[in-house]
Amino acid sequence: MVVGGSHFAVGIDWEPAPGVTSPELQATWARLTLKVDDWILTRSEQDGHAATAVYTSIYPLAEWAAFNWWLLDSNYRPSKILVENRHASSAEVQNSWQAHHRLLAVGDGMAWPDLVLVPVDSENVEASWREHQALGLRFIASGRAILSKAQLKEEFTKTIEAVLEQLKSNDLTSTPLQDEWEAIRSLDEDEVRFCRAAAQLGLDPLSLTDEITELVLSASGKLADELLKDFLLSTTSTKLEQDLEWTMGAIGKVTPDPIREWPQFLDLPDPRKPWSVGYQDAKALRNYLELKHDDVIPLDEISHSTVRDGETSGGIIAVGAPAKDRVEIVSPTKPSKFSVARSIWRARRSEGTFLVSASGGTSSQRAERAFAAELTAPASGLRELIDPHETEQGWISSDRLGELAGHFEISEMVVHHQLRNHFGIDSEQQ
């Protein structure tokens, strides 16, 4: 697993705040600087004057980090979602997943950079930030980086404990932050695993109903860590019980037997460019199968699919396992060729049972989708089929898109994405 190399830093210089009436805010007033490597996220402009820091209370930031500790660690669901509305109101931020992952949710009547933190795998967090206006300040930094999850949590831990020390020195006790942090630090290993499982379901582990708690514990007891993560990413709190029943039944229909003959795939993907690993793995398998650039992938020869009836939430694409020289797949409905190809990537990397999810955009899932696209509609094959003038003009007609998809016997959407990603060619807008 490649760990992100960018460094997150919180700089705090405590300042007096005699005009602030809230004891917690007054005790933790400071000059705050947030940085990712050399990017200064708190760089701002106001009335023609530039600044690299903001004056604010650190208590709301520390409280936000503590109360969202497990979601920032293990909620992979937003990894597929782009923050499309850069001018979202406070209400819009507070009433969505952004409340747990977007710094604007810290609020408390103070100006914060528009920083979004979303975990993309067990070791890494994607950070993105953009220009925005808040309380007369214009934050001017924008960028994106992959952070080490361990380093991010270490920096938030330092921030939280610095705030707690300030509270203690001002004789402030029993604040929500102090109670929450004490609860987090007292968890044992099994409780930490439960908290991560609840966060993978997209829920605050300390705010679950008894019924959901029992279902999460049941799933945690039946599924290994990686399978559990993908399962929880695929289901919802209202469909958890029926999805677990379907999944356990599907698992009973496959018997893992590692594939030994296929080429070895690359190490787990670099979170900064996971698609490159997927592309290379697909090329390696096509070469092993001795396919020409424009040959249709014979999925029936390297996989076998079974449909297991039963109602699911729709987030589970397939459960499967490697089966010596092919991949065994069990699906709620007949899987698409793209889904079968995604399952093949999972099987080659797994010695046991796996689950392919329709949700999430983790590093592995991005590599998995890139693999499926390149396996079924290889860029080298498309290059031989498209005309030079199509590349020059940057678009093709919808009929032409249909011809290319028909050649590879795959959906137009897959070919559309391959043309756009590899050649900058779009399909004609109707």
* pLDDT, one tens digit for every residue, the chain (430 residues): 455 689 999 999 999 998 898 999 999 999 999 999 999 999 999 888 899 999 999 999 999 999 999 999 999 888 666 434 444 555 555 557 888 999 999 987 889 999 999 999 889 999 999 999 888 889 999 999 999 999 999 999 999 999 999 999 999 999 999 999 999 999 999 999 999 999 999 999 988 999 999 999 999 999 998 899 999 999 999 999 999 999 999 999 999 998 888 888 877 667 778 889 999 999 999 999 999 999 999 999 999 999 988 878 789 999 999 998 899 999 999 999 999 999 999 998 888 999 999 877 788 888 999 999 999 999 999 999 998 888 888 899 999 999 999 999 999 999 999 999 999 999 864 4
Q: Answer yes or no: do 31 and 79 share one domain.
A: yes
Q: Answer yes or no: do 385 and 335 share one domain.
A: no
Closest CA to 225 of 204, 208, 202, 200: 200
| Dist CA 262 CA 305 (whole Å) | 19
Q: Answer yes or no: do 34 and 144 share one domain.
A: yes
Q: Answer yes or no: do 181 and 259 share one domain.
A: no
Q: Answer yes or no: do 47 and 179 share one domain.
A: yes
| Dist CA 149 CA 27 (whole Å) | 29
DSSP string covering 388-414: HHHHHHTEE-HHHHHHHHHHHTS-HHH
Number of domains in the chain: 3
Question: Domain span at residue 336?
Answer: 229-375
- Residue 16 class from Cβ within 10 Å (0-12 exposed, 13-18 middle, 19+ buried)? exposed
Q: Answer yes or no: do 112 and 163 share one domain.
A: yes
Q: Answer yes or no: do 169 and 55 share one domain.
A: yes
Q: Answer yes or no: do 34 and 120 share one domain.
A: yes
Q: Answer yes or no: do 32 and 181 share one domain.
A: yes
- Dihedral sign computed on CA atoms, order 348, 354, 359, 360: negative
- Residue 185 class from Cβ within 10 Å (0-12 exposed, 13-18 middle, 19+ buried)? exposed
Q: Answer yes or no: do 143 and 233 share one domain.
A: no
In a domain, 416, yes or no: yes
Note if the pTM is more than 0.85: yes
Phi, psi of 55 (to 5 degrees): -100, 120
Last residue of a domain, one of 375, 394, 412: 375
Count of C-beta atoms within a 10 Å radius of residue 208: 17
